[in-house]
Structure 1
Amino acid sequence: MLKRTVLGLACTLFLAWVVYVIWANKDRNMGLPPADVQFRSFTEVGRDSGRGNLVGIQPYMLPVDYSSEEAFFQKLNGYFSEARKKGWLKAKSIVVLPEYLGTWLVVAGEKKEVYATPHLTEAVKMLAYSNFFTYMSSVMQAPKEIGDRTSYAIMTMKAGDMANIYQQTFSRLAGNYDVTIVAGSIVLPEPTVKERKLALDSGPLYSVSGVFTPDGSLSGLVRKSFLSPREQLFIVPGKADNNPVIHTPAGKLAVLINQDSWFPQSYKNIRKQQANLIAVPAYLKYKNQLGVTWDGYEGHPTPADAVADVNKITEKEAWDKFSFGTRGPAEAEVKKGIAVFLRGDLWDLGTDGSTLMLSDSLSYGKRNEGAGLSCIWL
């Protein structure tokens, strides 16, 4: 009798396992949808003098654009192709992409429900359920000090695929178009550059931006130093003093990921390394955020030179006054730079921002809810 009970239980568990495996792997291979790669606005500052240019691609991303390596490449390649048709991609061009562009590769290869749901919380649940055992293993291995174990576990368990797609896509684009690419940001565990390629190790998560050279190799990684309160729950900050300045055909390039462009410490490093160009991959998390009242430096003490403006100016005015457009020239003698914001319909997350350009003076790209292309001639 006991043997029959054990055998019956084993059969039930086996059948449950089979059903789960079938469900978890169903609908993971999606056909590629037509990619909308049309720019809704174009902005050009200056004239081509042969010294190169900064090109800001403000993409409009959808969840399905992250469903596979080919979908991700197809979307970005369409934007690069349109930029080349404008005559804005040359041997000395530096193409700048936004913050978090690579981070959403965390959903690559998942069930179609992840891309179809309008709610990020539901997408995260589906991702966890359909990778249950790997997910639970990652949760249990999360360090005790991690405040958001779910985000940590999901980013960790998908890190290998994310890094591979990021490396392959931007290496391919840089080589195909013969340009330097600031490839937006991605969250990965202990990322490093080995043999001119992206490599991972066991360790904490960092938010990083890779810079790819015209031969397709990874020239350097920049770690975000000043994290938002949300990021602080599962990501470790880098050190502003340790971030490299990248040598490019157009000059010495400093990359400041979003909030890093607001802090005086970042400009001490830039000045020390004598950069003459700044690229800012950026993201604003709410719709129409530029119009709201600015409440100071999020998650960090507000510097003395900005305290008087807290709750008195808008977010846009704060970007103008305290980010790279003002601090770059005043604190590091850098007079050329560009900030590019992520736009899209990514579940129920909001986005805002239009490309911010520094060319001796500060100006904005044309504001629109879709993709935008901007160029600053050096």
Structure 2
Amino acid sequence: MRKLLCGALALIVIAALGGYGFWTLQRPEGHYLSDLRIELALNQGEPGARGNLLGVEPLLFPGDYQNLTRLQRKLSAYLQQARDQGLINPRTVVVLPEHIGTWLWARGEKPMLYQVTHRREAWQWLELSNPVRYGLAMLQATGEDRRADAHLRMKADQMAADYQQVFGELAKAFGVTLVAGSIILPAPYVEDGVLRAGRGPLFNSSVVFAADGSLLGQPQRQRYPDSELRRFVEPGQMQPQQILDTPAGRLAVLLGSDSWYADNYRQLHAQSVELIANPAFLAGADRWQGPWRGNRHQPAAQALPLQRGAVSEAQAWQHLTQAAGGGTASISVFMRGQFWEQAASGQGFINQAGQQRIAPAHPGARLLNVWL
């Protein structure tokens, strides 16, 4: 009898595990309606021979990341509307916001992950649907927030390939230089024209694509990660600032809060930079008008000319990026939309010839353009 009970129990366990394993492989997709409209919020200067910096502030939600076709269709629709308005030419440099690639960790998951209202619930579905990958990633995770590290590390190879596919194809389809916001990957690098995830700590990095879809330079790592990222993202201060030659001029990327630090601008000016792209992300629906939180975990932040809480986020970003200088054109673009309970805020702006232009508030997706 005992052998019979043990055998029956073993069959039940095997059946349960088999059923769970089969369930984890299922990824059904439903219908999804997306708003493809985008507003030209700011258009500075007149068309000329040098080209333009074109910022795209997309309105994105978790469902946009369920498959690559959805994401690519939405971004293509935005760029097509820009082309229809005469804002795209062979010398155009398109700039997308920070973390537009990071959310690729949500690609190809179960419908419930996109339907829940809180990010922690989405994490639970991610872990339940990928038990082996998550477990192995936890063994390699580092930093204070090992769970967040594992979520990104477990799908890093897939994310790197998806990122190159989506944004490389966009750059090629529209014949533009594309600053593809950023993506968090473990020790990313470019080898033989392919973006690869390494096996080291996580870095928040930006990649630039040429008009033929190829990669320009190496991933530019964020040098001073903000307080929200520092628990699982390493600073990239050991990597020098890159200057990339583009049809519009010598381009550099200052990722997120890296645009606050005067030392970064000094390094770029010493290399005769002409264009600065600043992809940014700000979490919190009312954060833009709220008190500036600074970056108290970065020693370099002590030298910033503003005090935490003394000004708003908007005032701090706009003041600190003016260090770009009169001879350099810079553009700051922010993510829009909502990822579970976390809304994104921020209003893009442009610095050129010592003057700053701020895009007016608008609830939807926005284009910001400056002619060089």
> Would you say same fold, with TM above 0.5?
yes
The equivalent residue for 2:259 is 261
Aligned with residue 315 of structure 1, among 313, 316, 321: 313
Q: Kindly provide the amino acid, as one letter, of the partner of residue 157 in structure 2.
A: G
Contact 1:41 1:368 in 2 (8 A): no
3-state SS of paired residue (1:351) = strand
Contact 1:179 1:214 in 2 (8 A): yes
The equivalent residue for 1:118 is 117
Aligned with residue 231 of structure 2, among 233, 251, 271: 233
3-state SS of paired residue (1:9) = helix
Q: Please, what TM-score do these two structures have when normalized by structure 2?
A: 0.95
Q: Kindly provide the amino acid, as one letter, of the partner of residue 78 in structure 1.
A: A
Aligned counterparts of 1:305 and 1:8: Cα–Cα separation in 2:
68
Aligned with residue 349 of structure 1, among 342, 346, 353: 342
Structure 1 position 354, deviation (Å): 1.4
Structure 1 position 335, deviation (Å): 2.6
Structure 1 position 31, deviation (Å): 4.0
Contact 1:252 1:277 in 2 (8 A): yes
Q: State how 1:129-278 maps to structure 2 within 5 Å.
A: 129-143=128-142, 146-220=143-217, 221-239=219-237, 242-278=240-276
Structure 1 position 79, deviation (Å): 0.9
Structure 1 position 75, deviation (Å): 1.4
Aligned counterparts of 2:198 and 2:288: Cα–Cα separation in 1:
38
Structure 1 position 292, deviation (Å): 1.4
Contact 2:65 2:71 in 1 (8 A): yes
3-state SS of paired residue (1:74) = helix
The equivalent residue for 1:98 is 97
Structure 1 position 304, deviation (Å): 3.4
3-state SS of paired residue (1:231) = coil
Structure 1 position 176, deviation (Å): 0.8
Is the alpha carbon distance of 1:112 and 1:298 closer, same or farther for their aligned partners in structure 2, counting shifts above 3 Å? farther
Q: Kindly provide the amino acid, as one letter, of the partner of residue 160 in structure 2.
A: A
1:336 equivalenced with 2:329 (yes/no): yes
Q: Kindly provide the amino acid, as one letter, of the partner of residue 244 in structure 1.
A: Q
3-state SS of paired residue (2:369) = strand
Alpha-carbon deviations, 1:69-119, whole Å to 9, x = none? 111111111111111111101000000000011101101000000101111
Contact 1:227 1:299 in 2 (8 A): no
Q: After alignment, is 237-246 or 182-191 more displaced?
A: 237-246
Aligned counterparts of 1:171 and 1:162: Cα–Cα separation in 2:
13
Q: After alignment, is 195-204 or 54-63 more displaced?
A: 195-204
Contact 2:183 2:204 in 1 (8 A): yes
Contact 1:241 1:269 in 2 (8 A): no
Alpha-carbon deviations, 1:27-86, whole Å to 9, x = none? x13145233110134320000111100000000001110001111111111111111111
Q: Kindly provide the amino acid, as one letter, of the partner of residue 91 in structure 1.
A: P
Q: Kindly provide the amino acid, as one letter, of the partner of residue 350 in structure 1.
A: A
Is the alpha carbon distance of 1:204 and 1:296 closer, same or farther for their aligned partners in structure 2, counting shifts above 3 Å? closer
Aligned counterparts of 1:176 and 1:78: Cα–Cα separation in 2:
12
Q: Kindly provide the amino acid, as one letter, of the partner of residue 263 in structure 2.
A: Q
3-state SS of paired residue (1:14) = helix
Aligned counterparts of 2:144 and 2:310: Cα–Cα separation in 1:
32
Q: Kindly provide the amino acid, as one letter, of the partner of residue 357 in structure 1.
A: I
Is the alpha carbon distance of 1:196 and 1:34 closer, same or farther for their aligned partners in structure 2, counting shifts above 3 Å? same
Aligned counterparts of 2:31 and 2:267: Cα–Cα separation in 1:
43
3-state SS of paired residue (2:303) = coil
Question: Gaps spanning 5+ residues in structure 1: where?
Answer: none
Contact 2:221 2:239 in 1 (8 A): no
Q: Please, what TM-score do these two structures have when normalized by structure 1?
A: 0.93
Is the alpha carbon distance of 1:89 and 1:298 closer, same or farther for their aligned partners in structure 2, counting shifts above 3 Å? farther
Q: After alignment, is 165-174 or 267-276 more displaced?
A: 267-276
3-state SS of paired residue (1:234) = coil
Aligned counterparts of 2:191 and 2:52: Cα–Cα separation in 1:
28
3-state SS of paired residue (1:350) = strand
Structure 1 position 207, deviation (Å): 0.6
The equivalent residue for 1:359 is 352
Question: Gaps spanning 5+ residues in structure 2: where?
Answer: none
Is the alpha carbon distance of 1:305 and 1:168 closer, same or farther for their aligned partners in structure 2, counting shifts above 3 Å? closer
Aligned counterparts of 2:107 and 2:239: Cα–Cα separation in 1:
33
1:83 equivalenced with 2:82 (yes/no): yes
RMSD: 1.7
